[in-house]
């Protein structure tokens, strides 16, 4: 068959359509270009009008936390001063005003700035606004002025300078020939380091540095408007303080820069009381005085402020009218075996008919949960968030049980029931662990209802899927083990053969290993053959360390938290604080070692072991949450807060 080509008519139509489309594209492109040219030309005309602006700086100086700026308009147009940029050696800030500088007129501007944010001011930039064809236009052309200190007011007068926040130290500057001297004796801010110090003196300690999410701590200054400031650990990094200092403002009658003085360097007519005036002569607190010298207020002198509670002190350091030692301890009630989570305390009450009591520190309410403990009771109960777990024995059928109680739903669930003994129960998240008949431990998942067992170990504890336990051959037990539920079929997995050996003492014995926040603590008794006695200590290892001293590997040297060589029991760690009961004084007292906010042993922010209780009775079973320690003192439950 003969092939047919495209007809002349169709070809003509296609050519015409192509030409039309091409013309449209060219038109649109040219239109955009023309529009851009028009816009660019208009912008150029506006900026050209900006060149007619004639501004002259008459004064640009700093006094206290104020910038004094005097601008003269020598041109024939009114100028709107709207946008200013303040430049310091630390940061840059934008300030907005809506002031008209009339033609051939002058205008005085006053700015308040924060030296803790900007540092020392270097210059100020003005971006003026003009009227162009009945439209306002902000010029890209800027006017730049250097900033100096304002002339000093009185010959020979001394002002404080610098800051006392963090690692900084204020100094003095003096007035001579209307000029201020350099700030003498001051220590200036430096780059922030992760060293538990406020190096840059902004009231925030180690902001941006690693931490354990959920922790909260005080900021570096606790005076003036900074009082009560807190930093939070969010996404494993320290936030800035929620209460930041300002420059001292003369009109507020407040301690704006958090140095303990009010309106220092401001104009005055009389002396001023300062410091903790309302707490004067309560505890260690004393008010101070600021004198009006040469018409200006001096710094506060002679004031004694509240200091943190020293819970072993017979002084009233926090100025609340009670000595610190008595202020630290509160009796919760009669009972035994307490545990704590947040503001909830659980403990066993009664002898023949035992119940679990739940005490709410916030509401002061007490809830009773019936139980069926036998005598003597085991280490019960434990609490995590709104979940309480405990072990009990039914005297009717001789069975042992593990129960879980949900405080939110007020429901009780049987987790385990058997003739095999069950005790030493612990809980974290949705994992419950306990030991059975001293021959194996059970790991129970609340969500799935499934469980696994590990033979030849006991005394388990759990934290975020990691389990610590005690084992070894013969008695007494000599080895600390751990495993991780996140692992499967490899070394460290939670099976009898894959669990990891953390530490073995030989000859000797180990008691009470406990895991929290990737650290394991335990009581260690090493038998000293030469003295035929035990060298006793509290030891710790850190799972975040690898192949160095302090690591939780078998051959790594462990960290000695306490080597008092006394009988100790119940070591417990949370929020980087380790507590235990210690018999070194002839009765059991509570001791604590604080690893500091970095959680590392041996760093500058550690608070070495200290005795917290001094009663001649025995204090046992301490548990800690934040700054709250709960323990048993004889037949009573005591709360120690510090």
CA gap 444, 494 in Å, rounded: 12
Exposure of 331 by Cβ count < 10 A (0-12 exposed, 13-18 middle, 19+ buried)? exposed
Span 200-212, mean pLDDT?
91
Nearest to 556 by CA among 496, 606, 500, 484: 500
Mean pLDDT check: name the lowest of 12-26, 95-109, 282-296, 489-503: 12-26
Mean pLDDT check: name the lowest of 332-336, 359-363, 604-608: 604-608
Query: What integer best gives the mean pLDDT of the chain?
Result: 88
Exposure of 36 by Cβ count < 10 A (0-12 exposed, 13-18 middle, 19+ buried)? exposed
pLDDT score at 506:
87
Span 450-470, mean pLDDT?
95
Q: At 37, is the secondary structure helix, strand, or coil? A: helix
pLDDT score at 34:
43
pLDDT score at 592:
93
Per-residue pLDDT band for 49 (boundaries 50, 70, 90) equals confident
Q: Is the pLDDT of residue 4 over 60?
A: no
Q: Tell me if 181 sits within 8 A of 161, measured CB to CB.
A: no
Span 537-565, mean pLDDT?
93
More confident residue, 575 or 327: 575
pLDDT score at 604:
86
pLDDT score at 33:
45
CA gap 575, 437 in Å, rounded: 32
Neighbouring C-alpha atoms within 13 Å toward the C-beta of 327: 19
Among the ranges 32-46, 49-63, 450-464, which has the highest mean pLDDT value? 450-464
Domains, the chain, with CATH or none: 55-149 (2.60.40), 153-266 (no CATH), 333-444 (2.120.10.80)
pLDDT score at 177:
92
Span 534-541, mean pLDDT?
94
Q: Is the pLDDT of residue 372 over 90?
A: no
pLDDT score at 35:
44
- Render pLDDT for 379-425 as a digit per residue (tens, 0 to 9): 579 999 999 999 988 878 888 999 999 999 999 999 999 998 898 99
Per-residue pLDDT band for 321 (boundaries 50, 70, 90) equals confident
More confident residue, 23 or 209: 209
Exposure of 523 by Cβ count < 10 A (0-12 exposed, 13-18 middle, 19+ buried)? buried
Above pLDDT 90, what percent of the chain?
56
- Render pLDDT for 220-270 as a digit per residue (tens, 0 to 9): 888 999 988 999 999 989 999 999 999 899 988 899 999 999 999 999 999
Q: Tell me if 86 sits within 8 A of 121, measured CB to CB.
A: yes
CA gap 249, 255 in Å, rounded: 8
pLDDT score at 27:
53
Q: Tell me if 453 sits within 8 A of 467, measured CB to CB.
A: no
Q: Which stretches of 102-177 are assigned E, i.e. beta strand?
A: 106-112, 121-132, 135-138, 143-146, 148-149, 158-161, 171-176
Q: Tell me if 119 sits within 8 A of 189, measured CB to CB.
A: yes
Largest CA distance in the chain: 120
Q: Tell me if 308 sits within 8 A of 319, measured CB to CB.
A: no
Query: What DSSP string runs through 420-434?
Result: S-EEEEEEETTEEEE
Residue 302 has a CB neighbour count (10 Å cut-off) of: 11
Dihedral class, residue 312 (left if φ above 0, else alpha if ψ from -120 to 50, else beta): alpha
Above pLDDT 70, what percent of the chain?
92
Q: Can you give the pTM of this predicted structure? A: 0.58
Question: Residue length, the chain?
Answer: 642
pLDDT score at 229:
93
Q: Is the pLDDT of residue 211 over 80?
A: yes
pLDDT score at 474:
73
Q: At 287, is the secondary structure helix, strand, or coil? A: coil
pLDDT score at 12:
66
Dihedral class, residue 89 (left if φ above 0, else alpha if ψ from -120 to 50, else beta): alpha
pLDDT score at 29:
55
């Amino acid at each position: 068959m003969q092939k047919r080509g495209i007809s002349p008519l169709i070809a003509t139509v296609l050519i015409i359509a192509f030409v039309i489309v091409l013309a449209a594209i060219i038109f649109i492109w040219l239109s955009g270009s023309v529009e851009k040219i028009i816009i660019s030309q208009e912008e150029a005309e506006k900026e050209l009008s900006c060149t007619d602006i004639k501004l002259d700086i008459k004064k640009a100086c700093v006094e206290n936390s104020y910038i004094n700026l005097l601008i003269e308009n020598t041109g024939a147009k009114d100028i709107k001063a709207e946008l200013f940029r303040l430049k310091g050696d630390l940061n840059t800030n934008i300030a907005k005003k809506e002031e008209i500088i009339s033609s051939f007129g002058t205008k005085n501007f006053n700015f308040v700035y924060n030296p803790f944010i900007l540092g020392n001011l270097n210059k100020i930039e003005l971006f003026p606004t003009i009227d162009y064809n009945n439209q306002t236009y902000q010029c890209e052309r800027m006017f730049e002025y250097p900033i100096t200190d304002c002339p000093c007011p009185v010959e020979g007068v001394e002002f404080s300078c610098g800051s006392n926040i963090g690692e900084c130290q204020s100094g003095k500057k003096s007035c001579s020939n209307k000029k201020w001297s350099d700030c003498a004796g001051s220590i200036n801010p430096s780059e922030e380091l992760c060293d538990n110090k406020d190096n840059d003196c902004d009231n925030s300690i180690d902001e941006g540095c690693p931490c354990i999410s959920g922790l909260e701590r005080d900021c570096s200054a606790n005076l003036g408007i900074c009082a009560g400031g807190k930093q939070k650990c969010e996404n494993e990094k320290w936030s800035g303080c929620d209460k930041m200092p300002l420059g001292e403002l003369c009109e507020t009658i407040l301690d704006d820069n958090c140095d303990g003085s009010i309106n220092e360097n401001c104009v005055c007519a009389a002396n001023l009381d300062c410091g903790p005036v309302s707490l004067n002569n309560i505890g260690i607190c004393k008010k101070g005085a600021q004198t009006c010298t040469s018409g200006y207020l001096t710094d506060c002198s002679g004031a004694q402020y509240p200091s943190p509670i020293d819970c072993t002190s017979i002084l009233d350091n926090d100025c609340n009218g009670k000595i610190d030692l008595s202020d630290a301890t509160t009796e919760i009630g009669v009972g035994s075996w307490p545990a704590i989570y947040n503001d909830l305390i659980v403990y066993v009450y009664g002898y023949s008919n035992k119940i679990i009591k739940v005490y709410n520190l916030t509401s002061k309410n007490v809830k009773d949960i019936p139980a069926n403990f036998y005598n003597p009771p085991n280490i019960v109960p434990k609490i995590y968030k709104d979940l309480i777990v405990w072990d009990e024995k039914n005297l009717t059928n001789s069975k042992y049980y593990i129960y879980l109680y949900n405080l939110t739903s007020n429901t009780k669930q049987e987790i385990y029931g058997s003739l095999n003994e069950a005790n030493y129960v612990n809980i974290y998240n949705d994992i419950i662990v306990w030991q059975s008949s001293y021959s194996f431990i059970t790991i129970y998942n609340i969500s799935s209802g499934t469980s696994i067992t590990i033979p030849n170990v006991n005394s388990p504890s759990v934290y975020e899927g990691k389990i610590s336990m005690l084992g070894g051959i013969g008695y007494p037990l000599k080895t600390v083990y751990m495993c991780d539920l996140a692992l499967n079929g490899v070394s460290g997995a939670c099976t009898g053969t894959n669990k990891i050996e953390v530490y073995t003492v030989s000859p000797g014995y180990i008691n009470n290993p406990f895991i929290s926040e990737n650290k394991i603590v335990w009581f260690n008794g090493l038998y000293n053959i030469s003295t035929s006695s035990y060298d006793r200590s509290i030891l710790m290892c850190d799972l975040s360390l690898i192949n160095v001293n302090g690591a939780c590997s078998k051959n790594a040297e462990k960290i000695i938290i306490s080597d008092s060589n006394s009988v100790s029991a119940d070591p417990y760690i949370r929020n980087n604080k380790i507590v235990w009961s210690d018999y070194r004084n002839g009765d059991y007292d509570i001791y604590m070692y604080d690893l500091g906010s970095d959680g590392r042993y041996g760093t500058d922010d550690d608070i070495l072991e200290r005795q917290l209780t001094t009663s001649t009775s025995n204090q046992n079973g301490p548990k800690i949450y934040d700054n709250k320690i709960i323990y048993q003192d004889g037949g009573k439950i005591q709360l120690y807060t510090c």
